[in-house]
A and B are shown apart, each in its own frame.
Chain A
Amino acid sequence: MQMAFYFDQTRCTGCYTCYIACKEWHDIPAHSVQWLRIQETESGKYPDVFMSCTVSPCYHCVNPSCAEVCPTGCIAKRSQDGIVVVDREECLGKEACGQCLGACPYGAIQFRNKPDAKMEKCDFCLERLEEGRQPACVSSCPVRALDSGDIGELKVKYGKYGVVKTGPGLTYDKKNRPAFVIGVKYANSSYKRV
């Protein structure tokens, strides 16, 4: 089983509810780390403007480079659900090590701005998962642009939306094999979905 996020770029309005929900649920202070990041893109010329957003938590890659480079083995991929977790006790910290930071192609690896900061990142809201609930970002989205679950099931659930791997603000990294499913927004695309 491989847990994954589904992100429907056609629905996202860039409202940042997931972003604040993530920070609030994990009690992350302002101007600190971002377990979930949002990238807004603007292209085109007035009045033909194209906008899209990409929501990026950790993609809990199938072959996570962060775990591969970690000298202490504190980053691990759980066998039961593929979620990539970090044991902060064992982490050497950004200054002493910080190798995972450069390894992740998606900027998921986060360190707070203090000398002894240990690595942290999206943990798929494990605590919620254990209660049978969706991650905070997914449950908060006002337009239901996010979902999560087994990647195989998500691909089936979202049909042709599920096989697209790259879009504005997002590239599929073949080495890491990120576990996401995305409904991509294209300029001049039809949004009909019946």
Chain B
Amino acid sequence: MKSEVKKIHVSCGHDCGGACVFFAHVNDGVVRRVETDEGEEPQLRGCARGWAYRCKVYSPERLKYPMKRVGRRGEGKFEPISWDEALDTIAKELKRIRDNYGPSAILYDGRGGNRGQLHGSMSGLRFLNMFGGCTTLWGGPSAEGNVFASRVTYGTLSTSNTRDSLPYAKYIIVWGANPAVSIFGTNTTYYLTQAREKGIEIDVIDPYCSETAAYVGTRWIPIKPETDTALALAMAYVILTENLQDRAFLDRYTVGFDKFRDYITGKEDGVPKTPAWASDITSVPTETITEIARRYATSKPASFFIGFGAGRTSYGEQWHRAVSVLACMTGNVGKLGGDAAGFGRGPVGAMIGPAIPIPPNPVEKGVSLRGGLDIKLRNSIRVHYSYMWDCILKGRAGGYPTDAKMVWVVASDPITQHPNSNKGHEALQKPEFVAVSDIFMTPTARYADILLPVTTPWEKNDLIRPWCFGPYYLYLHKAVEPMYNAKSDYEVFKELCPRIGIPVEQFTENRTESEWLRHIYGISEDMKAEGVDFDKLEKQGYYKMPISKPLLAFEKEISDPENHQFRTPSGKIEIYSQQLADLNNPELPPIPKYIECPEGPNSPLAAKYPLQFISRQAKNRSHSNFYNIPILHEIEPQRILMHTSDAKDRRIKDGDMVRVFNDRGVVLIPVRLTERVMPGVVILGAGAWFTPDEQGRDKGGCANTLTPERVSPGGSFAINSCLVQIEKE
């Protein structure tokens, strides 16, 4: 007799900005099939990656048991051991390192590669802070420039309306964003499509004719990488000189526009930021700059759709600040169909926390960094992700807050995801102890002394929410028992407690998994206030907030400014920031400015490495997740994209194996010649696993083999400020 098929609500747990509804068809304890949301609108349909999740859960490459290293670090030679031996070893090393060097010598890299509000890397921080603390890292590889700029300008990251506001715009500029691939909120592309079908023009500014430019937008406007700020400033020049700005809005809601005006007109530095000035820098034709500026200022409302790509440059926060000023100059903040061009988190349902409670980190001695703009202070306590390798190699002598003796990596693959993978290889030889918890043998896992197999979100109960756009919440139900000998991260830390002298009850608070989830809901800043029905959420696996019209960001600040100030020091939108002025850093000016990047087409290095190298999200990966899932390789082979004209002089033909290189490394990869990239620019999909051959040349197509560790003054990974040369292999 055929046993019953149960449909269990699951989701992915990746860091794409979305969180989609999937149901696993479970029969005899095995997931036979999946299906996405076919229920009530708005349906939260998942993408190809979500549909391939079964292949991930049942991948033959899953780590099946704890292991200890028997070869060199990075070599990938391991021997299976018992959980007891693995956890005893980690506990012994934790105690030894804490007692000999102090807890700051434990460097914890816990990220969002395997997300959940209970499980995942945050439970590790709870554990380590109970243990005495650790040194943590800061700065998202994705968006740190935007985070910084949004906090400066608006005092918050929640700056955008719900996505269903997009079709109300009269004109949309998608800039440095490719939601058709990167997702950036479930249904985002669907709403952009609806906008276009209403007849709204969608211009897409990008060095690459992205999927969003090619398939969603109505026009592609190519721009040289790193120069986007100049384009934004010239748009401001047009708006200003043609007197198209919304004076009433600027007067009522912002501070410091006069100082910005003086910079734009050239009164401050003698250089008017004209379209001709910007055209020289950006390669965007003067007339196009004028046209889009006029159109943006006169279409009421008009919406920016801002991504993170252009912000991942040497002065990325300047671009984010500049586009926000454009939104203010045109009064598009807090309007239906408009957008503030800030960080872009929605007004409700987006991830603001909470997760499993994390006690204060004793190593940080009570200093609060939340929302702070003082990068120097931040760097004195935490390590910027981009400098993880440099910190391990140089320690306190190099100005870092720790001499890292132990590195613990959870739900993260820094060798692939952090700049300069070769330096990562060198750095991970140094610590006395390296522990990695993962689902697969990632490039970073190969460096572990002890490697722990952890579960996927299908093997546990958890809560999840999109980090940028709701308004909805997901409750993930355990579809199958933990595969092989895997444990959830939470279980791992729980079982470590008695081994290091933390009472288990202190860690678990005697809560079961489902009790924790209810507790997390109860202590959330928003879920309860937003009226989320937890019972319904738990029962059906998702809770879509009933809304009849788009929800607006800054609605109260705009409609009732007397009683609702912006959360900035002045209470207004800060075009001029006194906080930044006080930092007295010419590279972090109080008004947004164009500052030329040190590794760009005009720098001396360009003589040796004439091509600008940028990376983009790939449609078959979520960051480094899914790289090892064969079914997804069918949809996009890893290739470097190059313009036909750049290939000619190099005698490169489509499909040739090429050597992409600079002083930091070499990538061997097939080339795809196309008209879709700007001449002088080459593009590689991010997240491909670093796979060096004997000579250290990466054959996996890992973009970070080539990228610089440079951090922008506001904390952005400057990985799109990168020069390379390409030769036929």
Residues of A at the B interface (CB closer than 8 Å) are 11-17, 19-21, 23-25, 27, 29-31, 38, 42, 44-47, 49, 51, 53, 133-134, 136, 139-144, 190-194
Contact = CB atoms under 8 A, between A and B. Distances in A.
Interface of B: 32-36, 38, 45-48, 51-52, 54-55, 180-181, 187, 189-190, 193, 196-199, 209, 211-212, 214-216, 218, 220-222, 619-620, 629-636, 643, 674-679
Contact of B678 (A23, A29, A46): A46
Contacts of B48: 15-17, 19-21
B18 to A, nearest CB: 10
Given A14-B214, A47-B220, A192-B199, 7 more contacts: A13-B211, A16-B619, A16-B636, A31-B630, A51-B209, A142-B46, A193-B198
Nearest to A45: B675
The 5 A-B pairs with the shortest beta carbon distances in the complex, nearest first, are A51-B214, A30-B630, A192-B199, A16-B635, A30-B631
Contacts of B38: 133-134, 139
A190 B675 contact: no
A15 B209 contact: no
10 contacts: A11-B193, A13-B212, A15-B180, A17-B45, A17-B51, A24-B34, A30-B631, A38-B635, A46-B222, A46-B679
Contacts of B190: 142-144
Contacts of B633: 30-31
A46 B193 CA distance: 24
A51 B46 contact: no
B35 A139 contact: yes
Contacts of A141: 45
Given A139-B38, A144-B190, A44 B33 contact: no
B676 A42 contact: yes
Name the residue among A16, A139, A192 with the largest chain B CB count within 10 angstroms: A16
B54 A15 contact: no
Contact of A136 (B35, B197, B675): B35
B35 A191 contact: no
Name the residue among A46, A47, A142 with the largest chain B CB count within 10 angstroms: A142
A20 B635 contact: yes
A11 B190 CA distance: 9
A24 B197 contact: no
Contacts of A31: 630, 633-634
A27 B33 contact: yes
A46 B222 CA distance: 9
A142 B47 CA distance: 7
B710 to A, nearest CB: 29
Contacts of B199: 190-192, 194
A42 B654 CA distance: 14
Contacts, number: 124
A42 B213 CA distance: 13
Contacts of A53: 215
A27 B32 CA distance: 8
A107 B259 CA distance: 64
Given A15-B180, A49-B214, A42 B675 contact: yes
Contacts of B35: 25, 136, 139
B456 to A, nearest CB: 16
A191 B679 contact: no
Given A12-B215, A16-B635, A193 B197 contact: yes
Nearest to A29: B631
A110 B78 CA distance: 41
A2 B51 CA distance: 29
A129 to B, nearest CB: 14
B632 A24 contact: no
Nearest to B633: A30
Contacts of A49: 209, 214, 220, 675-676
A19 B636 CA distance: 12
Contacts of A144: 190
A140 B629 CA distance: 20
A112 to B, nearest CB: 15
B316 to A, nearest CB: 24
A29 B631 CA distance: 7
Contacts of A45: 675
Given A139-B38, A143-B193, A191 B643 contact: no
B196 A191 contact: yes
A107 to B, nearest CB: 15
A51 B219 CA distance: 12
Contacts of B620: 16
A53 B632 CA distance: 18
B215 A51 contact: yes
A185 to B, nearest CB: 9
Contacts of A47: 209, 220-222, 678
A141 B215 CA distance: 14
Contacts of A20: 48, 51-52, 631-632, 635
B220 A191 contact: no
Nearest to A16: B635
A26 B374 CA distance: 54
Contacts of B47: 15, 17, 142
Nearest to B677: A46
A26 B630 CA distance: 16
A140 B52 contact: no
B87 to A, nearest CB: 35
B197 A194 contact: yes
B47 to A, nearest CB: 5
Name the residue among B48, B187, B190 with the largest chain A CB count within 10 angstroms: B48
A112 B679 CA distance: 41
Given A30-B633, A49-B209, A51-B209, A194 B678 contact: no
Contacts of A21: 36, 48, 51
Contacts of A190: 199
A118 to B, nearest CB: 22
B214 A140 contact: no
A133 B630 CA distance: 29
Contacts of B209: 47, 49, 51
A23 B631 CA distance: 9
A42 B672 CA distance: 12
